Amino acid sequence: MQIKDTVAVVTGAAGGIGAALAEALLAGGARVVVSDVDEQRLAGTAERLGAVAVAGDASSDADIAAMIAAAEEHFGPVDLFFANAGVGDGSGLAADDEQWQRALDVNLLAHVRAARQLVPGWVERGRGYFVSTASAAGLLTQIGSATYSASKHGAVGFAEWLAVTYGDDGVGVSCLCPMGVDTDMLRSGMTSAGGEGGKVAAAAVTSAGEVLAPGDVAEQVLRAVEEGTFLITPHADVREFLRRKVDDHDRWIRGMQRYQRQLKENS
């Protein structure tokens, strides 16, 4: 799908990858609605970019409907939806049901709820595009965070299903799976609620490869949308790690165990 003259909604857009996506979309000629739970920060970002802001929870059916309604009111039917909002912490088996539910709601079910509202209309129009921000953790795993790893695996699985099920009906799907990106989540999100697990989780990401700027990631995402590419891996190493995992799962797990021990020794 060409970006010019499209209508896009981006969640988790107060900063980081979401704000970078909105900026790149606007530069490419799209009309953009941005959303985030951080209303004050979102307002500043929207004013800086010249986007329409709708504060809300990306996992709420009502808030998703409000984002879509605002886009339709200002610009017309939504062509592109970027399910970018995400949460993460350093929780393991001690994570309670509330932590699990929040991770699943934002990292997975938010995507399901948005697709439920948009895809039937896209099928009817024969045109639409869904971009899921997952993570390399959704292809591999996230040392130090059970909730993040499992919910991001779910996001990848749902994006794959969406692509297979609706690709013949004109619905495009891309799934973004980066490692380290210079965002608030990487700098503080993992460590704020996860103690030692959060420190190890952050170290696992920053030690595995280059930490990319959000703008560089956004450029790759929009290129993938225009080319109709499903899997977006801004870090080239991710595909090699995935190949090793598929080739010999047991060996890969042993390697990850060694890596975890090293991280804990150095933390």
Query: Active-site residue numbers?
Result: 148
Q: Are 88 and 133 in contact (CB under 8 A)?
A: no
The residues, any chain, with a CB within 8 Å of residue 69's CB and separated by 6 or more, are none
Backbone angles phi, psi at 213, to 5 degrees: -75, 140
Q: In what order do the strands lie in the sheet with 171-176?
A: 52-53, 31-34, 7-10, 80-83, 128-133, 171-176, 231-232
Say how far apart CA 50 and CA 47 lie, in whole Å: 5
Which residues have a Cβ under 8 Å from the Cβ of 176 and sit 6 or more positions away?
Answer: 17, 131, 132, 133, 134, 217, 221, 232, 234
User: What ranges make up the beta strands (E) of the chain?
Assistant: 7-10, 31-34, 52-53, 80-83, 128-133, 171-176, 231-232
249 burial via Cβ count (<10 Å: 0-12, 13-18, 19+): exposed
Say which residues have a Cβ less than 8 Å from residue 104's Cβ, sequence separation at least 6.
147, 150, 151, 154
Query: What does the alpha-carbon distance between residue 26 and residue 47 come to, in Å, rounded to a whole number?
Result: 13
83 forms bridges with which residues in the sheet? 132
